[in-house]
Structure 1
Amino acid sequence: MIGLAVMAWLTVLICYGGNWVLGQCMIERPLVVGLVAGLLMGDVKTGVIIGASLEAIFMGAVNIGGAISAEPVTATALAVAFTVGAGIDQGAAITLAVPVGVVTAFLSIFMNNVFLAFFAATFDKMAAEGNEKGLALQHFVLWFVKYAAFGLIAFLGVYLGAEPVAAIVNQIPANVMNGLNAVGALLPAVGMALLLQMLWSTELSIYFFLGFTLYQYLGLPMIAIAVLGVIIAVASALRDKEIFDLTKKGLATQAVSNDSVTSDEEDFFA
């Protein structure tokens, strides 16, 4: 189990820490984290499936300023580890792992606002002295310490919690387990609802109902609906560009006409 715990720690360090050291390249998204965890833990299919499920859940989670809604990397790593290592059902593993993301978010707030604040004066002093090597060294040391600490949550969660969690899950009655699986299946809907709450527009709502109708009543696969969405988006963009060009051309013609009238008036009164 310690090997699986190390893989969970490494997943968090690579995806959560690597996301920022490379300039927020979005490898902290659950879909990518699930792939990385699956590669490290030896079950890519399970990792991608769990990552896609958690992507739908955390898609609407947006961090604004110092406020952090949830941290999906640790939750994804734990869910994959619980499923691969402890044999827990995917729905139950997702349901158990999601609250860990909220706990990790509190740790992130503490690390950013309390722990790292102690080193602000040192950074300012090195910057004033022009000590570039010292700045780089302290930056990367603190980077490792910070994200290694986040990885410890995943490590301890797998090392200390996988077997007890698996034992507890095995004692759970079938009807309760069905409830956990149902909750796990509903969580992506909650994530999509959070996303729609931010993006909902009366003008664009017709496309949402169009996609729902195509999937629910016509039985089209998601890939086909996505392709249709891309076609509609491209057609709308081309139409908007044409309208913009016509409007711009009309304004330019009107400006030339106004200049001509002004010139004629100046010639008349000259």
Structure 2
Amino acid sequence: MIVHALLVAIVYFLASWGTYGIGVFHLNRPIVVGPLVGLALGDLQTGIILGATFESVFLGVIAVGGSVPADATIGATIGTAIAILTGAKSDTALAIAVPVALFGVALSQVAISVVIPLFMPKMDALAEAGDSKGLTRMHWFMSLFVGGVLQAIVIFFAVWLGSNAISSVLKSIPQFITHGFQAAGAMLPAVGFALLLNMLFNKKLFAFFFLGFVLSIYLKLPSLAIAIIAVVFAITQYYNSEKNANVAIAGETKESSTNINGEEDFFNE
């Protein structure tokens, strides 16, 4: 169990640090973390399934302005590990992953608000001295905390000490509560997509969402066919907008040329 806990913690740290420390964006997304956890625990298929499930839930959970979103990475990591190690159903793991993701926000704030400021005076001193190599070393050092050292330690102990306890708790939960978890888990992907659509809402484009709904529900087209149709619409829209832009530029050029010629005729007279 210690080995499993260590592997899960390493997967979380590498995914999180790869994003915030190195800058490999989206490496910490559930659709990536889920399969990595499944691979580490010897159940890649479950990891892929849960990674896609968690991604649909956290799809619209992003940082906008000063808002602090749930930590989708820690939620997907714990949720996938719990499902594989305890044999819990995906719906139950999903219902557990969401509150864990909210708890992960608190851990992130500890690193950002408490640990990182301790090193800022040193960073200021290095900047004043023009020590670029020192700044680089401090960046790598601080990125360890932003990249998830604290969360990885918590995940290690949670999986090591809590997997058996979690399994016992899940087995002792009454069936009606388990069904409630499953119902809540089934609704969470819809909530995730609703959050995403709320940010992407555009009066000019929203009709295409209804078109996709009709193609999927009534015409029973597979996702690949709908995606191809969407690409065709996107390409057509792109070339139409480019054509309109060229026409507008040509019109402005012609108008400017007319004004210049008019001025020259005026002075020639």
Question: Which TM bucket (shorter chain)?
Answer: over 0.9
Identity over aligned pairs, percent = 31
| CA distance in 2: counterparts of 1:66 and 1:203, whole angstroms | 28
What one-letter code is carried by the residue in structure 2 that aligns with 1:139?
Answer: H
Deviations 1:136-159 (A, max 9, x none): 333323332452211122212211
Deviations 1:202-227 (A, max 9, x none): 22111111111111111112222122
What one-letter code is carried by the residue in structure 1 that aligns with 2:182?
Answer: N
- Matched with 1:242 is 243
SS at match of 1:70: coil
**Structure 2 stretches lacking a partner, 5+ long:** none
- Matched with 2:3 is 3
| CA distance in 2: counterparts of 1:66 and 1:240, whole angstroms | 34
Moved more, 99-108 or 171-180: 171-180
Deviations 1:36-74 (A, max 9, x none): 222222222211211111111111112135532111111
Aligned runs of 1:185-264 on 2, under 5 Å?
Answer: 185-264=186-265
| CA distance in 2: counterparts of 1:165 and 1:143, whole angstroms | 32
Q: TM-score, normalised by structure 2?
A: 0.93
CA RMSD of aligned residues (A): 1.7
- 1:190 and 1:101, CA in 2 relative to 1: closer, same or farther beyond 3 A? same
Deviations 1:196-251 (A, max 9, x none): 11111222111111111111111112222122111111111111111111111111
What one-letter code is carried by the residue in structure 2 that aligns with 1:53?
Answer: T
Deviations 1:119-177 (A, max 9, x none): 10011112223344443333323332452211122212211222111112122233332
- Matched with 2:162 is 161
Q: Is the 8 A contact 2:116 2:145 kept in 1?
A: no
- Matched with 2:97 is 97
What one-letter code is carried by the residue in structure 2 that aligns with 1:123?
Answer: M
What one-letter code is carried by the residue in structure 1 that aligns with 2:222?
Answer: P
What one-letter code is carried by the residue in structure 2 that aligns with 1:262?
Answer: E
What one-letter code is carried by the residue in structure 1 that aligns with 2:46?
Answer: T
State the 1:22 CA deviation: 1.7
Count, aligned residues? 268
| CA distance in 2: counterparts of 1:245 and 1:132, whole angstroms | 46
| CA distance in 2: counterparts of 1:265 and 1:132, whole angstroms | 62
Q: Is the 8 A contact 2:21 2:144 kept in 1?
A: no
Q: Is the 8 A contact 1:74 1:153 kept in 2?
A: no
- Matched with 1:46 is 46
| CA distance in 1: counterparts of 2:226 and 2:183, whole angstroms | 25
What one-letter code is carried by the residue in structure 2 that aligns with 1:130?
Answer: G
Aligned runs of 1:2-41 on 2, under 5 Å?
Answer: 2-41=2-41
| CA distance in 1: counterparts of 2:27 and 2:108, whole angstroms | 17
**Structure 1 stretches lacking a partner, 5+ long:** none
What one-letter code is carried by the residue in structure 2 that aligns with 1:161?
Answer: G
| CA distance in 2: counterparts of 1:72 and 1:153, whole angstroms | 15
Q: TM-score, normalised by structure 1?
A: 0.93
- Matched with 2:121 is 121
What one-letter code is carried by the residue in structure 1 that aligns with 2:192?
Answer: G
SS at match of 2:69: coil
